[in-house]
Structure 1
Amino acid sequence: MTIKNPFDLTGKVALVTGSTMGIGEGTARVLAEQGAEVIISSRKQEQCDEVAEAFREQGLKAEGKACHIGRMEDIDAMYRHIRDRYGRLDILVNNAVLSPWRTIEDTDVGLFDKTVEVSLRGYWFMSTEAAKLMKTHGGGSIINIASVAALHPDRMLSLYSTLKTALIGMSRSFALEYGRDNIRANTILPGVFPTKLADAFDDEARRKILDKTALGRLGKVEEIGYAVTYLCSDAGAYVTGNNLVVDGGMTVGLM
């Protein structure tokens, strides 16, 4: 008797934005290890190709395709490519982000608009185009990478926190509107991981964070990949419109 692995992603096509480093790369790697064919995407084609090549050298299925999600023409080009090459998309992980480290008063209109274009508008239209394609082959899974800052905003990250909060509402709205098309939408809220954003915290701030984190350590980028795998695989087939906090118990310590 053959027992099906509910986490198996063999035959699935997955697009992960912002996947040439950090959480995005770690997530793309886990999805590929579970059998998915992964599209590595960020703003620069050379970086996308380098990561995709490294994946292929390890026997994983991957290609690199640049896409600046703050530009509508790039989004259109990405989905034309996906339709022409694959004819389907099963998994979208919205991870690319701008993280301005500014006070509220120092956040001018130009920075505000640029951040919204990437961190909200980009997520919205990447998801809209994904849903259109997913409807043609029986469904799929959209996962928005937010942050625990959506629940507990921090100083200097007010705009970042605001837009991460908006992603929670966005995921819930997409879950409701596309549920009957078997398209699921969920949000993951990571805690502190070894990324460029975490580098902005000085040693004292990092120590305070770890002191308040139940597990007493930073997360590993692949641990977001495991959470994504659950939500986009058959194992999470009855989960939609939900928020999954992956923070080592940090928010428990903040309550």
Structure 2
Amino acid sequence: MGRFQGRTVIVTGGGGGMGVEICRTFAAEGAKVVVADVNMDFASRGVNALKQQGLDATPVAIDVADRDNVEKVFGEIAQRFDGIDVLVCGAGVRRMAPLLDHSLEDWELTLRVNLTGVFLCSTVAARHMKRKGKGSIINIASVNGVRACEGMGAYNASKAGVISFTQTLACELGPHRVRVNALLPAQTETPMIAEQVGEERQRREERIPLGRYAQPSEMASAIAFLASDDASFITGHALAVDGGYLAFGFRPSVYG
């Protein structure tokens, strides 16, 4: 029997990239997984990927930045599956541009999806968890929320906000036995970073002590740990799964 047998797990952004692997990890451990994405096509794509591995899940379309839609979708899930046990906020966007060239439209979109979306999904799910007397929320932030990177100002700001929001919510929900943590991935093999090839990729890998990008399964394993009873005394934590990236910083190796 898996660690999440019979538990209801919602993964936003579950239809692609890292999200599918997160859903697979929970489903393989017995969870009732809800693959939530921006439209039903993306959500169904994630469910179909799981079915090819003999696993099952439920697809739903959701607009994470629309309070009414989030409340409706989460309410229907809670009613159908007798509550919400775990929420993974993985929906996100990234718009690249120097801050002086950043359009207001892209800035607002990034903050709306990456930060407001986390606020809405986390707080709506938390109300269901409070009624149940327990729960776990994992918000996917980024190492960029701790250490800035040029050309990604809106993304950096949104992820720093996610970390601070996570810590605040953890303090407020602790008395209700609802744990809230953040995951800080470094470079991970997903479609979002597919454009990083050749010398650019090599340069980025040299900044990671382990010398490579992470696999989505390594992020999924860390998220499952934070969601599980194995992490029952961990809340308000921002867990960097980064191959040593934050420890190393941006400086080149001194001793070769």
Q: TM-score range by the shorter chain?
A: over 0.9
- Structure 1 match to 2:149: 154
Identity %: 29
CA RMSD of aligned residues (A): 1.6
Q: How far apart are 1:202 and its partner, in Å?
A: 4.5
1:57-206 mapped onto 2 (5 Å cutoff): 57-206=52-201
The partner residue of 1:235 within 213, 230, 233 is 230
- Structure 1 match to 2:254: none
Tell me, yes or no, if structure 1 residue 52 matches structure 2 residue 55: no
- Structure 1 match to 2:215: 220
- 1:92-112 Cα offsets, whole Å, 9 max, x none, are 000101100111012222222
Q: How far apart are 1:19 and its partner, in Å?
A: 1.1
CA distance in 1, matches of 2:45, 2:17: 15
The partner residue of 1:41 within 36, 48, 51 is 36
Q: Which runs of 4+ in 1 moved over 4 A?
A: none
CA distance in 1, matches of 2:220, 2:114: 20
Aligned 8 A contact 1:140 1:183 in 2: yes
Q: How far apart are 1:121 and its partner, in Å?
A: 0.8
CA distance in 2, matches of 1:180, 1:254: 36
2:191 alignment partner, SS class: coil
- Structure 1 match to 2:14: 19
Matching residue's letter, 2:33:
V
Q: How far apart are 1:84 and its partner, in Å?
A: 2.5
Matching residue's letter, 1:34:
E
Q: How far apart are 1:59 and its partner, in Å?
A: 3.4
CA distance in 2, matches of 1:202, 1:102: 19
Structure 1 residue runs without a partner (length 5+)? none
When normalised by structure 2's length, the TM-score is: 0.92
Aligned 8 A contact 1:100 1:160 in 2: yes
CA distance in 2, matches of 1:203, 1:247: 21
Aligned 8 A contact 2:6 2:32 in 1: yes
Bigger mean CA offset, 53-62 vs 153-162? 53-62
When normalised by structure 1's length, the TM-score is: 0.93
